[in-house]
Structure 1
Amino acid sequence: MQPEGRARMVARSYLYVPGDRREKLARARERGADGLVLDLEDAVAPPAKDSAREVVAAFLTGLTDEGAAAAPPDASAPDGPAPGAPPPAAPHEFGPSGSTRSGSTPHGSALGTSPSATSNGPTPAGPTPNGAATTVSTASAPNGTIFGGPELWVRVNADRLDEDVPAVTLPSCAGVWVPKADPESLARVDALLTAAERAAGLPAGVMRVVPVIETARGLLAVAEIARAPRVLRLGIGEADLAAELGIRPGRDRAELAPHRAALVVASAAAGLAAPIAPVETDLSATGADLAATTRALLCEGFRARTAIHPRQVPVINEVFTPSPAEIAAARDVVTRLGAANQSGTGVAVDARGRMIDEAVARSAREVLGRAPAS
């Protein structure tokens, strides 16, 4: 159980961890990433797939048991739900505020009702109308978190969904990353998760999904994928996508910019949290180079990035965390427009003489929504 008052914010970094490397799994939670993606796919050789699944399942089970043993009883809570009551809600993190879709609750995760098998998620965490960052205060750890540590995800194999998905449907797992995602594979994953949650005694819909767009088929269907059940955020696998499309990217990978933009647009239209940017596969890249490419991705509309080495994590976290100057400027924008609204006008002027309207304030609130909790 998480101590009262602990909060979680939108994840900025996700570190891939090979699923068949017990020693790396044991140390991964100390690497500073907001999320860990225990990898059963690319990081595992084909002959080791089955054993990797067993290793990851055992690791997640051990964390579940560890958390259950360490959690103190909640004296204020009843012994169980009332007869006939729905299962307790399971909080998640992520997601912009104020985004809704007909027939579903806002996306992204935070405290709220447990999503149904046909809903993308509960009420999100994000910037509030006054610009203050919204955090998720939890009295118990969200699915996939262990006492405020990183969220734990599993990247499954697209051709082994029936074996991988049920094996990792556990309280310590936030959900699955689905490579080469398309509408059909997501429908299958949803069905598998629904059955596995029921078998494991988990709340319906608590396991979430991150579809990774890596194929032409997935790219063409990205808007449909973004609206699929359980989807939390979208990711992109540029190496696979470039290979399928015959693209030969340059150093800045600008050739893939239109396809990245498709994810950003689909995410915004579906009310999802901003998508997760592709990994930097060049381990010889300097910290300055990694920071520069990550800043470019932030400007393109991404708000998180995957990493394949722990030393990439601090750089990614820093780029996606607003600086004190950015936070101060954003607060000034929100304050000035608020004062103007109170005086009866819909616009204001900042200290440099630039006009501020509601569109500018929305961008400022997004910055504040990513600010560290003070």
Structure 2
Amino acid sequence: MSARALALGATLYMPCTRTDLAARLFGPGRIPDLRSVVLCLEDAVLERDLPEALSNLGGLLRFADAREGGPSDPMIFVRPRDAAMLARILRMPGAGRLTGYVLPKANTETVPCYLALHIPDGQMLMPTLETREACDPHEMRRLRDQMLAVQDRILALRIGGNDLMQSMGLRRSAGSTAYDGPLGPIIAMLVATFSPWGFSLSAPVMERFGDAALLRRELARDIDHGLLTKTAIHPDQIPIIQNALAVPSRDVEEARAILDPNGPAVFAQDGVMCEPATHRVWAERILARAEVFGKADGLPIHKRA
């Protein structure tokens, strides 16, 4: 996972129908510890509310464009309904202040329509894998090969868990993580299809935002799958997600030992075989994650010389 994708942390989705966007992102009432946000004009907005939502977005962009940005500002993405709406957003005053765009319903038919637009250099794209094609390994290989040509523009691929469940006529039951039903094998397939080719992926939302214990269980499975950023739908989920991404001290020390240029080709540490030739990428990701989210025990991270 790239360092910038890792920095997304818990990406909060907010509908553009909200009238307090500027206050929640930049003002005294800003959401604590928010690293990234997606302002949604798609599923979270009714058709009849689109004019109001677009007006709210325009107001936020003008506000953001008139202020001096700071290092604590969140990364801001907009999720349009389709390529035509994205073209309209690109013409809005202040659109250059956006970090990028979430591309809904990404597949081999829709992605070329987005890529045909003149999206400024530096603005990143996050296609969302949420149509029934995402259940088909062949279709996902076609999409991967299509996106390899613009991989430098793809910050992360977002897994749209609720939409994928909807395509099967299902909804996860109370007490179940995303990995406990048919969505689990699909997530594993998407990781295997895209991650070895250098694409970062984001874990799907946990819609039961009132169940913190279940969210922590799901986060453990996310991390096992290498999904080190996750969609959030409620501010209360943000600290839970980002605290879960903190790294146990033992993993940091193991990673440092693996990356030691003077270390042996294989060694044991705390009863675990460590082999730098096969564990190097894992170790690099562990240290990168620790730099962003810290150690789970709260101890400081000391960079290697």
TM-score, structure 1 length as denominator?
0.66
Which runs of structure 2 are paired with 1:309-328 in the superposition (5 Å)?
309-328=234-253
Higher helix fraction: Structure 1 or Structure 2? 2
Which runs of structure 2 are paired with 1:72-91 in the superposition (5 Å)?
none
Q: Which amino acid aligns with 1:256?
A: L
User: Structure 2 CA distance, aligned partners of 1:42 and 1:293?
Assistant: 24
**Residue 208 of structure 2 corresponds to residue 263 of structure 1:** no
CA 160–46 in structure 1, closer or farther in 2 if over 3 Å, else same:
farther
- Verify the 8 A CA contact 2:9 2:35 in the aligned structure 1: yes
Q: 2:280 aligns with which of 361, 364, 373?
A: 361
User: Structure 2 CA distance, aligned partners of 1:325 and 1:40?
Assistant: 43
Superposed CA offset, 1:139-182 (max 9, x none): xxxxxx74342110011113753555424672210111111111
Query: Which residue does the alignment assign to 2:133?
Result: 217
Structure 1 position 244, deviation (Å):
1.2
Structure 1 position 44, deviation (Å):
1.7
Q: Which amino acid aligns with 1:217?
A: E
Q: Which amino acid aligns with 2:253?
A: A
Q: 2:203 aligns with which of 246, 266, 277?
A: 277
Structure 1 position 34, deviation (Å):
1.6
Query: Which residue does the alignment assign to 1:116?
Result: none
- Listed as ranges, the gaps of 5+ residues in structure 2 are 293-300
User: Structure 1 CA distance, aligned partners of 2:15 and 2:70?
Assistant: 19
The count of residues paired between Structure 1 and Structure 2 equals 274
Q: Which amino acid aligns with 2:155?
A: L
User: Structure 2 CA distance, aligned partners of 1:207 and 1:38?
Assistant: 15
Q: Which amino acid aligns with 1:49?
A: L
User: Structure 2 CA distance, aligned partners of 1:322 and 1:304?
Assistant: 14
Which runs of structure 2 are paired with 1:225-264 in the superposition (5 Å)?
225-226=143-144, 227-228=146-147, 229=150, 230-250=153-173, 251-253=176-178, 254=180, 255-264=182-191
Which runs of structure 2 are paired with 1:109-124 in the superposition (5 Å)?
none
**Residue 75 of structure 2 corresponds to residue 65 of structure 1:** no
CA 61–184 in structure 1, closer or farther in 2 if over 3 Å, else same:
farther
Query: Which residue does the alignment assign to 2:214?
Result: 289
Q: Name the SS for the 1:370 alignment partner.
A: helix
Q: Name the SS for the 1:171 alignment partner.
A: helix
Superposed CA offset, 1:328-369 (max 9, x none): 23223333xx3235xxxx222324363434212331221011
Query: Which residue does the alignment assign to 1:42?
Result: 43
CA 354–231 in structure 1, closer or farther in 2 if over 3 Å, else same:
closer
Structure 1 position 235, deviation (Å):
0.7
User: Structure 2 CA distance, aligned partners of 1:223 and 1:187?
Assistant: 15
Q: Name the SS for the 2:262 alignment partner.
A: helix
Q: Which amino acid aligns with 2:57?
A: V
- Listed as ranges, the gaps of 5+ residues in structure 1 are 1-6, 68-144, 198-204
- Verify the 8 A CA contact 2:257 2:263 in the aligned structure 1: no
- Verify the 8 A CA contact 1:222 1:262 in the aligned structure 2: no
User: Structure 2 CA distance, aligned partners of 1:222 and 1:146?
Assistant: 38
**Residue 44 of structure 2 corresponds to residue 56 of structure 1:** no
CA 327–164 in structure 1, closer or farther in 2 if over 3 Å, else same:
farther
User: Structure 1 CA distance, aligned partners of 2:168 and 2:88?
Assistant: 28
Q: Which amino acid aligns with 2:193?
A: A
Query: Which residue does the alignment assign to 2:296?
Result: none
Q: 1:149 aligns with which of 73, 84, 90?
A: 73
Q: Which amino acid aligns with 1:231?
A: I
User: Structure 2 CA distance, aligned partners of 1:304 and 1:53?
Assistant: 27
TM-score, structure 2 length as denominator?
0.80
Deviating 4+ runs (over 6 angstroms): none
User: Structure 1 CA distance, aligned partners of 2:242 and 2:159?
Assistant: 19
Which runs of structure 2 are paired with 1:4-15 in the superposition (5 Å)?
10-15=7-12
Identity %, equivalent residues: 23
User: Structure 2 CA distance, aligned partners of 1:237 and 1:353?
Assistant: 35
Q: Which amino acid aligns with 1:20?
A: T
User: Structure 2 CA distance, aligned partners of 1:366 and 1:8?
Assistant: 12
